[in-house]
Structure 1
């Protein structure tokens, strides 16, 4: 499917980490430090096990590989990632412009697998302000369950089928699809099933397509 085959949405729900904000390097630094503490390497194979997961899920993975308790690994990860994001994270290319253009036309939200404290730091660092945002610790189940997208659509007052999701990870993609939200993927690592797959938020075809949407906000 191409962008032209997608219906203009009534609302858009963005992921945050790896989609709007370049936080994945911050996570990688923190994860590398945690693994090193236990004398273990952290490379692409280990990264693939945690990318896109909630901090609790990532903590459980780290605990299973390092022998730490899940609670300890999760607490250490939250603390380390938050500090690095607050100091170093930047918006990904095209993110600020895309959110500005989209929000001028339709309601927007963020649905993130980060907990609220981490999400607020990341969005604040990027200068983003969303009236609707949903964090992993505000729903029963994080991505890949559909809860985050269903809650975001509920708060936006639209049906999932009439919204549009932007995701960078397979975990997030499965969440959007499970909720019945049409999906544009901008993969951080490997391509995954989506209605449309783009290489970047700066894709000129994306901005041209957004310019054709009727304004509803």
Structure 2
């Protein structure tokens, strides 16, 4: 039975398409140390996938600096832009999947909660910027993930009905956004034990057969 071909595929970026989370972790570790804190795995779990405003509130609470969240986020943004100049690699299976979509003529885009400056920089650092004609950043929509705006805008730019598209996400926040926009959601958790309740399909990497099948790229048999 031939797999159903989606109208388009929309990739999250951080931790899904590219392994930028290490860059974020290095920046977060530096930020916390500057302000007398220690960045932990639990902090990472709480921040992963969160929007700028949500992260600001969480970081100011973590560091015990009420009212300084947006200032801290500005500082973190400067740190992570420096980290984004090096050591950014595609996640396992990502480039093979993109090439397969391109060869099959299935449109695709990136939809990220990160700001435009960061999205453009990490795509260049990873050497994949030429592969993505359509990208949407978190500072280009009114409401970031988990609101549906970013996914709706990506589908609009692709000229595709969201209900006929597939979104790929590594976090609960991102999956909630794709689900709210009406996409079929593939969850590929960056943290292996992280639950993604809004995912229709779960996979351990973008190389998994279930990812390719859900994206309309393989033939399934009985």
Normalising by structure 1, report the TM-score.
0.90
CA positional deviation for 1:86: 1.4
Alpha carbons of 1:6 and 1:60: their partners in 2 closer, same or farther (altered >3 Å)? farther
Unaligned runs of 5+ in 2: none
Aligned match of 1:116: 116
1:211 corresponds to 2:213 = no
CA positional deviation for 1:57: 2.9
SS at 2:17 equivalent:
coil
Normalising by structure 2, report the TM-score.
0.88
Q: How does 1:127-138 map to 2 (within 5 A)?
A: 127-128=127-128, 129=130, 130-138=132-140
1:24 corresponds to 2:21 = yes
Aligned match of 2:72: 73
CA positional deviation for 1:208: 5.9
Alpha carbons of 1:139 and 1:38: their partners in 2 closer, same or farther (altered >3 Å)? same
CA positional deviation for 1:83: 1.0
Alpha carbons of 1:101 and 1:109: their partners in 2 closer, same or farther (altered >3 Å)? same
For 2:161 and 2:210, the matched residues in 1 are separated by: 26
Q: Does the Cα contact within 8 Å between 1:55 and 1:77 map onto a contact in 2? A: no
Decide which moves more: 188-197 or 177-186: 188-197
Q: Does the Cα contact within 8 Å between 2:3 and 2:213 map onto a contact in 1? A: no
For 2:56 and 2:125, the matched residues in 1 are separated by: 24
| Cα RMSD, aligned residues only | 1.9
CA positional deviation for 1:60: 2.9
Aligned match of 1:91: 90
SS at 2:175 equivalent:
helix
| 1:168-200 C-alpha deviation (Å, 9 max, x unpaired) | 011100000011110001001213121100001
1:141 corresponds to 2:138 = no
Aligned match of 1:57: 54
